[in-house]
Structure 1
Amino acid sequence: MQVLLLKEPREEDSGPDPYVKELAAHGHRATLIPVLCFKFVSLSTLSEKLFQPDTHGGLIFTSPRAVEAVKMCLEAEGRGEEWRLIKDKWNAKSVYVVGKATGDLVQKLGLKPLGEDSGTADVLSRLILQREDANVLPLFFPCGSIKREVLPTALRENGVPLETLTVYQTAEHPDLQENLSQYFTQQGTPSSIAFFSPSGVKFCLETVRQLSGKRLTQIKFAAIGPTTADAMTTEGLCVSCSAEKPTAAHLAAAIAKVLL
């Protein structure tokens, strides 16, 4: 069956998208349409913070894009050798992440992630509160322009100091509407559509409704996690399944189950 994945693709040099591969293993043909585009900002400030580990109690990454911003800083300024020395100071502290995808990218920077099994910022905030208190130096949180406030609020209410820096801005992919229209024209209405972020729901849903018409109720809508599922429900969608964890294997298994 046809499955439409509304997410950003993997980087070109990182191989086939794992969600497409996992769904193929279940006998489904998945198509990925990029929903978001990103503009990186404040990279000079980010670079300064990265090379001042003594002023922070640890790092927090809740998205692959924030880790990509760090990688861009290191590559642009040619400070790889210096980073090899500095990263050990960060590893002596705590480097928190949400999800395995973000954790894998953090490891490629030479850092040791904590919280890879936390599928949401809510869960990660509980882990941080178990390990940190008001006496810690501020945790440094490079993030996106439309981050949720769950984690900052939880830490603030419990007295754990936090310093945030917006390092990327999120916008609708310029080809999104055209790509959606082309997909429905050429392949018809998919059996399942998977959303990967509240932003994806915001940017895609009205077009999906228009293109699907009366067939909308036949589509099995899937969510990568509870935050996205909540956004879908708020918009009046019936969420057929949600991944137990935000991984390709878990989402593919959930979709395959409802498409039996």
Structure 2
Amino acid sequence: IVLITSAHAARAWLDLRQSLFADDSPCSYLVVGSASARMLEELDPTVPILAIAPSASALAHVLPSGTQHLFYPCSASRRDEGVEWIRAQGVDIVELPLYEPMLPSDAEQRLNTALESSTTPRAIIFYSPSAVSNWFSIRADIPADSIFVAIGPTTAESLRAHRVEDVVVAEGTDSAAIADAVERSLRRGV
């Protein structure tokens, strides 16, 4: 079983499936996020998806019983919690770091332009703790009239660690879940 926890990992893995692993086909996928699942369904349609979890923390609810081995294409900066939990279940994980998250050289300019051109209230969506770290490496302030949306509890924890008090946690990674989170926030007056 191949565990895919992000769209970046899915893209990097699918690139390898075209070259290095062209002759090898995984028996199935275990996926976090509907965007990653759609990408795999479209670009690797012969490999079934066993389950789709809305977040890494939800893997506990979808990990098939009897799973003994997982192959995990991941970021070189991946978080430990999910991997440690899976290992604690007695599952052997072979990690394959395929990419390193990095900021573009013009990230500060692009962020400032985006904030200046957006209307308020604005939703700022964070898909990972590394995205939170990158944001706060560029800007220490929290823009007024902004709704901070976290995909999953670990990303929410990361935002709170950076003193963002009002964090809205989306139930999943798809657009509908994010829109629902923003709508909930607007109704609450956050």
Q: TM-score, normalised by structure 2?
A: 0.82
Q: 1:254 to 1:141 in 2, by over 3 A?
A: same
8 Å Cα contact 1:223-1:239 kept in structure 2: no
Q: Alpha-carbon deviation of 1:198?
A: 1.0
Find the counterpart in structure 2 of residue 127 from structure 1. 62
1:74-113 to 2 correspondences below 5 Å: 74-76=17-19, 79=22, 82=23, 86-87=24-25, 90-91=26-27, 94-107=28-41, 108-110=43-45, 111-113=47-49
Q: 1:191 to 1:155 in 2, by over 3 A?
A: closer
**Residue of structure 1 aligned with 2:79, choices 148, 166, 170:** 148
Bigger fraction of residues in helix: 1
**Residue of structure 2 aligned with 1:203, choices 130, 134, 155:** 134
8 Å Cα contact 2:160-2:167 kept in structure 1: no
1:15-164 to 2 correspondences below 5 Å: 58-76=1-19, 79=22, 82=23, 86-87=24-25, 90-91=26-27, 94-107=28-41, 108-110=43-45, 111-116=47-52, 118-128=53-63, 130-132=64-66, 136=68, 138-164=69-95
Considering only aligned residues, what root-mean-square deviation do their CA atoms show, in Å?
Answer: 2.6
Letter in structure 1 aligned against 2:156: A
Find the counterpart in structure 1 of residue 151 from structure 2. 224
After superposition, the C-alpha distances for 1:89-129 in whole angstroms (9 at most, x for unaligned) are x33xx42111211111222212211221x12223214432x
- Equivalent pairs: percent with the same residue? 25
After superposition, the C-alpha distances for 1:133-167 in whole angstroms (9 at most, x for unaligned) are 5xx3x321111111111232123223221211111
Q: 1:157 to 1:240 in 2, by over 3 A?
A: closer
Q: Alpha-carbon deviation of 1:249?
A: 0.5
Q: 1:189 to 1:151 in 2, by over 3 A?
A: same
Q: Distance in 2 between matches of 1:77 and 1:168?
A: 16
User: 4+ runs of 1 displaced by more than 6 Å?
Assistant: none
Q: 1:139 to 1:210 in 2, by over 3 A?
A: closer
Q: 1:206 to 1:71 in 2, by over 3 A?
A: closer
Q: Which protein has the larger Cα radius of gyration, Structure 1 or Structure 2?
A: 1
**Residue of structure 1 aligned with 2:109, choices 156, 173, 178:** 178
Q: Distance in 2 between matches of 1:127 and 1:211?
A: 35
Q: 1:221 to 1:67 in 2, by over 3 A?
A: closer
List runs of 5+ in structure 1 lacking aligned partners: 1-57
How many pairs does the alignment contain? 185
